[in-house]
Structure 1
Amino acid sequence: MFTMTWDHPYRRRGRKRLIPLLVAAIQMIGVTFASHFPANQAPATPRSLDLLAYALLAGSALAMWLVHVRVELALGVVTALTATYLALGYPWGPFFLAFLFMLILAVVLGRQLSAALTAAAGYALFVWLTARRGIDPLSWHSLVAAVVIVGVLLFAQVVRANRDRIVEQRRRRAGDERLRMAREVHDVVAHHISLINVQAGVALHLLDDDPEQARTALAAIKQASRDTLRELRQTLGVLRGVDEQAPRSPAPSLDRLDELVERFATAGLRVDVHVTGRPRPLPTAVDLAAYRIVQESLTNVHRHAGVDSAEVTVGYDTDEIVLDITDRGRGGDAAEGNGLSGIRERAASLGGTVAVGPRPEGGFTVCAVLPTGGDS
């Protein structure tokens, strides 16, 4: 079931735009709170917070928005404003959060070198400016700052790797879905157009000599074209993610094999169906794949084999279903026609196997084995 979520990307983008505001608030509130604890400040008496201090705290966070212009520009402005706050001797506290967030953002966006160079420059500025405030460059302040910066860079790299993995998975799923839909459209169109083509030829041939038989062929064309449009609407509706109304007919499955056989009989191909084992409900994906494999195999027989009959055997085993479609036609390259690659792909996507080839006694066979996951 598809759900319309057209506004979701905008909501996500809106949340991202709130991050600088949140960081600005944390920096200003945190520094204000920390300024009331002189024991936690540097040895030099800190400069009292004023309008400029709050402007630097807010500006360093809001400058993160410059990432939409250029990542390096945002890195430089955030670093400069943070260093200016420290150089002017304002109270300590979480005044560096915007700087750390900007390093993470740069790495996630693929600017690892720029982030590393900025981190090194920021650390050097921190050591130099704290030394001017009377703090030993080798004190625990410098050690903690180095550990925090390195830890933030490593964390950002892990986030980026995970993001890349998720993006690749989404891209792979989208590719698989496009391939599945392409197979579905091909099977629908190839099958019905093949029947329409044959019936159109019959109607043209009999139009003058046997109008009643021509009428029957035209009725079959009408039904086949209606089925084609209906299945294409369903397939394209799923592709668009539109589900305003439920499908008006059941999805293709082995339960509808009799309807498929009747359509081929109308087109002049007699199909004998044999079922072995105990029939049972199948997983939806397996049921659809089985139906499409039989459909495509019979379409190939109808178009390439040059015969008027075929056999279909459906075998239910404990944890698999075996499909065997056989004809006594020309075999060889004529039967190795369109759609066999799609049959192989369908089976492979479910962990199944397909064997195709000419028969020693003549004709051609397609044998597909699809796992069903045990008894249902």
Structure 2
Amino acid sequence: MRRAIRVARQARAAARTPGRARLWFDMATVVVVGTLFAVGWPTLHLTHQVPAAAQPFIAALAVFPLALIRVNPALGWAISAGAALLIALAIPHQPGNDLPYQVVHILVLFALLFAVAVRAPMQIVLIAWIASSLLFATTMAGTSSFAEAGFGWPLAMTGLVGFGLLVRWLVLSRQALVRQEEQNELERARRAILEEKARIARDLHDVVAHHMSMVVVQAQTAPYRVPDVSDAARAEFDSIGASAREALNEIRSMLGVLRSDGQLPEHAPQPVAADVVSVLDGVRRAGVRIDWTIDGPLAAVPDTVGLALYRIVQESLSNVSRHAPGAAVTVTLTVAVQAVEVLVANDAGTGGVPVVSSDGSGISGMRARAESIGGMLAAGPRSEGGFQVYARLPILVGEGTVEAPAAAALPGARN
């Protein structure tokens, strides 16, 4: 979620940056146009035989097309090139001046041709390149040894256009990289949101399923644990169990909307390994026949491993309540130096049909928890009847994924 907010802020900042850059570029363009006009008008009488009244208009025709360099460089180039051809053909230049138009006009033409190569469609670039080459080759003929070389000005135009195309390619490549990075960042933010939803769904499943299963077990076993239960009370207990089963199934359906394959670190306060004892006590108080053995200090288990251990034990006991009501359960928990091992086993049970239907998401969620910290989990039927879940979770950092023992790889294991 924080990443999504950061992406939105970056997008707003990126949207403001081009606007400021365009403003500064337009201001610089106005300054350059004004400077060139201030140079071109007073010096026009030195290069061309133009009446004084017409000089500002000729200078403006030569310089002002540069103002279109950002909004429409192709139109600015067309006006400037047409004005250059008109001046070269219609206005004689002063004796001793071999240039058909002013230097400021040549600079404007170069700048606009470069802008066309950078920004205009390729068809317009081709037309502007050919037309500019012909314009300079014809109007500049005989003005210098460079022009007299025949290919001098066309080669100059080709180099200018080629440099503009190179800049164009660099700009487009940079823009493509920026767009790709934005898409990647948005995808990462979307993935983070999906993973957060998956974490919420996983924890809701673990917590709600466990406690709702205990409600079902208590409702089903109450007529046998409480003496002298009337028929009305028995019917009430049956109604409580049925309502709890229906609510649990509906919750499972809703949680499916939040599920995804991602994993996220836990952000809220989470249970630790020592809290497993409270789960075992709660199951026993609910009427389940359960015995457990804990070998080793639970306080030595890191929080991340402890959370996975807690959820695995919780979900395993919930599965026993759902699929084998009345079964006796044995939990064996061993804390060693390198890993913590847990085995939850139950017999065939005496409660008849399972309490709720299963879609297998509980075991797959437990396996995902174990594998996310480098451990393993195996679940399947026991040869003597019943079911068992075995998990091994590494404690040491870098322990890596561990292999399941052969005894845990049972046929028909749930996925």
Deviation at 1:186, TM superposition (A): 1.3
> What is the correspondence of 1:315-330 to structure 2 with a 5 Å cutoff?
315-329=334-348
Deviation at 1:321, TM superposition (A): 2.7
**Structure 2 contact 273–301 (Cα < 8 Å) conserved:** no
> What is the correspondence of 1:1-376 to structure 2 with a 5 Å cutoff?
9=8, 12-13=11-12, 15-29=14-28, 32-33=31-32, 49-50=63-64, 53-54=66-67, 56-57=68-69, 60=71, 81-89=72-80, 91=108, 119-128=121-130, 130-131=132-133, 134=136, 136-139=153-156, 140-203=159-222, 209=228, 251-277=270-296, 279-329=298-348, 337=358, 338=360, 339-374=362-397
What is the one-letter code of the residue matched to 2:77? L
Distance 1:198 1:369, change over 3 A: same
Secondary structure of 1:269's match? coil
**Structure 1 contact 34–93 (Cα < 8 Å) conserved:** no
Distance 1:156 1:7, change over 3 A: closer
Deviation at 1:93, TM superposition (A): 5.3
Distance 1:88 1:373, change over 3 A: farther
For residues 302 and 257 of structure 1, the distance between their equivalents in structure 2, rounded to whole angstroms, comes to: 17
Q: Deviations over 1:37-77 (max 9, x none)?
A: 89xxxxxx995654x754x356x2xxxxxxxxxxxxxxxxx
Structure 2 residues without counterparts, runs of 5 or longer: 40-58, 81-104, 138-152, 259-266, 400-415
For residues 325 and 78 of structure 2, the distance between their equivalents in structure 1, rounded to whole angstroms, comes to: 89
- Percent identity reads 29
**Structure 2 contact 273–305 (Cα < 8 Å) conserved:** no
What is the one-letter code of the residue matched to 2:211? H
Deviation at 1:22, TM superposition (A): 1.8
Structure 1 residues without counterparts, runs of 5 or longer: 39-44, 61-80, 104-117, 240-245
Distance 1:8 1:172, change over 3 A: closer
Secondary structure of 1:88's match? helix
Distance 1:202 1:330, change over 3 A: closer
For residues 283 and 251 of structure 1, the distance between their equivalents in structure 2, rounded to whole angstroms, comes to: 12
Deviation at 1:312, TM superposition (A): 2.1
Secondary structure of 1:321's match? strand
Distance 1:200 1:144, change over 3 A: same
Deviation at 1:30, TM superposition (A): 5.3
Deviation at 1:357, TM superposition (A): 1.4
What is the one-letter code of the residue matched to 2:136? G
- Bigger radius of gyration, 1 or 2? 2
Secondary structure of 2:340's match? strand
Distance 1:289 1:95, change over 3 A: farther
Distance 1:97 1:48, change over 3 A: closer
For residues 327 and 206 of structure 1, the distance between their equivalents in structure 2, rounded to whole angstroms, comes to: 21
**Structure 1 contact 268–308 (Cα < 8 Å) conserved:** no
Root-mean-square deviation (CA, aligned residues, Å) is 4.5
Count of residue pairs the alignment pairs up? 302
For residues 303 and 258 of structure 1, the distance between their equivalents in structure 2, rounded to whole angstroms, comes to: 21
Q: Deviations over 1:289-341 (max 9, x none)?
A: 2211110001111222244432222333444332221222359x979955212
Distance 1:86 1:31, change over 3 A: farther
What is the one-letter code of the residue matched to 2:387? F
**Structure 2 contact 133–154 (Cα < 8 Å) conserved:** yes
Output the TM-score relative to the length of structure 1: 0.63
Deviation at 1:123, TM superposition (A): 3.1
Deviates more, 1:363-372 or 1:126-135: 126-135
**Structure 1 contact 31–94 (Cα < 8 Å) conserved:** no
**Structure 2 contact 7–185 (Cα < 8 Å) conserved:** no
For residues 349 and 223 of structure 2, the distance between their equivalents in structure 1, rounded to whole angstroms, comes to: 26
Secondary structure of 2:384's match? coil
Q: Deviations over 1:143-168 (max 9, x none)?
A: 21121122223333333443343333
Show the counterpart of 1:77.
none
Distance 1:99 1:176, change over 3 A: farther
For residues 165 and 34 of structure 1, the distance between their equivalents in structure 2, rounded to whole angstroms, comes to: 42
Deviation at 1:17, TM superposition (A): 4.0
Output the TM-score relative to the length of structure 2: 0.58
